[in-house]
């Protein structure tokens, strides 16, 4: 019959059966130790280990697993025991274990009966042994949470703020002087050579005078205010003089309305200044009067074309190139306008022409017109026979209106030099009435004046 294979529990080596049979190795109480390991033990432990123990059950130990070795502490030196598969338990060991457990249970039962029955031994013998039910071990109550006292709070001490000493009393007038001085410095910063910020500087100086009337700063502000008013007046006087001279030059060329517009442009530029209110308006009024005197002088050399036929006949043209329109001209007089009547029934325009006898060099033409059911156009024939055509931007109405036509160049021309340049003198003037709708209409003409090319000095 094959014998069990045993391994030393201390070194893990195979223990041959011959070594066990010879007594060199020991198998005792489940412990296996080879002869080499026993030889290393002290004499006392070696003698105790080899002494025979009755009832010793020898067991075979499996080969230990070196990877799962654990330390086992014994009465001798530490032994490293390899934990592998649990060794098989013999039948005698099982009986010993079961007997031990049964004896323990029986002892507990007897002790319990003695506690319940008291000192009477007969009662104990007469009572049946109660069934022992293993009780669930009592669970200790959970410990109460420990409440720690709050940490001590250090007392808060408010920081000591150093208090500045109270300032020395200052006279009440000192802040006023300081404020006035600051405002005066600001006002001086607004004053430059050309007085480009004249209005702001003047307002700042006036504020000092109004707020601090009894201070040295107010006295200095008054002096500065008078100085900048004088200087500004001189600057504006020079600019105004240039503008007025420019306007008068335009008026001397017969462009009176343009000259007046130049003078009127001064008010938006200087109207809000103190100088303009005191002197500017008077200067502009004087320049306007001068323009009127220039115009009056020029009018002595203007030629007013008579409305009758004494200085040239009137001629009616029916616009045959666009379809003839019947009509006629009724010559006027010094008191009555010349009237052209027509009846559109498909034509495009009609016209009334006047010969200028003798021909006259003219810078412009001025006339008063009114009409019904017609538009307005002009034609001028110059010295080369070139016909210049102009269109009016202002429509005709039933009320008298003044029209002016500059005679330098034309937007459209034909015949003669055919270069759109008006060659003086003017020989013929034509007023055209364009059709608005079929039906009767008329145009009236008066105060026809030619402005001479060379004006009187």
In tens digits, what is the pLDDT along the chain, a chain of 457 residues?
556 778 888 888 888 888 888 888 888 777 888 888 888 888 888 887 777 655 444 444 455 444 444 444 344 444 444 444 445 556 666 777 877 888 888 888 777 777 665 444 444 344 444 444 444 444 455 555 545 555 555 555 555 555 556 655 555 554 544 588 999 999 999 998 888 888 899 899 999 999 999 999 999 999 999 999 888 878 877 888 888 999 999 888 778 889 999 999 888 877 766 667 777 788 889 999 999 988 887 777 778 888 877 767 899 999 988 888 999 999 988 889 999 999 998 789 999 999 888 888 898 999 999 999 999 999 999 999 999 999 998 889 999 999 999 998 999 999 999 999 999 999 999 999 999 999 999 999 999 998 887 665 5
**Within this chain, do residues 434 and 393 fall inside the same structural domain, yes or no?**
yes
Same domain, 259 and 228: no
In a domain, 165, yes or no: no
Residue 21 belongs to a domain? yes
196 and 272 in a single domain? The answer is no
Domain end call among 280, 298, 316:
298
In a domain, 38, yes or no: yes
Number of domains the chain contains: 4
Predicted confidence at residue 136, as pLDDT, reads 47
353 within domain boundaries: yes
Which of 64, 85, 106 is the last residue before a domain boundary?
A: 85
Asked if residue 282 and residue 183 are part of one domain, the reply reads: no
Together in a domain, 416 and 314: yes
Q: Domain boundary residue among 57, 85, 113?
A: 85
Within a domain: residue 103?
no
Residue 41 structural domain: 6-85
Task: Please state whether beta strands 26-28 and 31-33 pair in parallel, antiparallel, or not at all (unpaired).
Answer: antiparallel
Residues 314 and 445 in one domain: yes
So what's the pLDDT on residue 84? 44
Whether the model pTM is above 0.75: no
Contacts of 223 (CB under 8 A, 6+ apart): none
Q: What is the pLDDT of residue 398?
A: 94
């Amino acid at each position: 019959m094959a014998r069990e294979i045993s391994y030393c529990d201390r070194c893990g080596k195979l223990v041959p059966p011959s070594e066990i049979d010879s007594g060199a190795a020991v198998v005792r109480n489940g412990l296996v130790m080879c002869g080499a390991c026993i030889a290393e033990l002290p004499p006392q432990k070696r003698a105790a280990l080899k002494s025979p123990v009755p009832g010793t059950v020898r067991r075979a130990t499996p080969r230990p697993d070196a990877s799962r070795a654990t330390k086992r502490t014994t009465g001798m030196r530490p032994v490293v025991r390899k934990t592998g598969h649990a060794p098989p338990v013999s039948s005698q060991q099982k009986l010993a274990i079961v007997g031990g457990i049964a004896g323990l249970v029986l002892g507990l039962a007897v002790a319990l009966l003695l506690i319940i029955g008291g000192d009477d031994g007969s009662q104990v013998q007469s009572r049946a042994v109660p069934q022992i039910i293993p009780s669930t071990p009592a669970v200790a109550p959970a410990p109460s949470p420990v409440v720690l006292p709050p940490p001590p709070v250090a007392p808060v001490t408010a920081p000591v703020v150093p208090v500045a000493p109270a300032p020395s009393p200052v006279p009440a007038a000192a802040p006023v002087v300081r404020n006035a001085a600051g405002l005066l410095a600001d006002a001086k910063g607004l004053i430059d050579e050309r007085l480009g910020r004249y209005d702001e500087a003047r307002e700042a100086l006036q504020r000092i005078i109004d707020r601090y009337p009894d201070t040295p700063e107010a006295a200095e502000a008054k002096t500065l205010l008078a100085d900048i008013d004088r200087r500004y007046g001189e600057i504006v006087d020079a600019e105004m003089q240039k503008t007025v001279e420019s306007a008068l030059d335009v008026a001397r060329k017969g462009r009176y309305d343009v000259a007046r517009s130049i003078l009127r442009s001064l008010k938006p530029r200087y109207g809000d200044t103190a100088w303009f209110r005191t002197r500017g308006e008077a200067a502009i009024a004087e320049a306007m009067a001068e323009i009127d005197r220039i115009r009056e002088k020029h009018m002595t050399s203007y030629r007013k074309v008579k409305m009758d036929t004494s200085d040239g006949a009137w001629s009616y043209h029916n616009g045959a190139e666009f379809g003839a329109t019947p009509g006629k001209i009724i010559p006027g007089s010094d008191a009555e306008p010349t009237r052209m009547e027509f009846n559109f029934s498909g034509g495009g325009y009609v016209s009334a022409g006047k010969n200028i006898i003798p021909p006259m060099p003219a810078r412009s033409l001025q006339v008063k017109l009114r009409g019904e059911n017609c538009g307005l156009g002009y034609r001028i024939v110059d010295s080369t026979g070139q016909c210049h055509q102009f269109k009016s931007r202002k429509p005709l109405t039933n009320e008298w209106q003044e029209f002016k036509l500059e005679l330098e160049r034309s937007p459209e021309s034909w015949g003669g030099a055919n270069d759109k340049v008006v060659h003086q003198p003017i020989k013929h003037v034509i007023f055209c009435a364009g059709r608005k709708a079929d039906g009767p209409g008329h145009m009236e003409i008066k105060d026809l004046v030619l402005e001479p090319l060379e004006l009187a000095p």
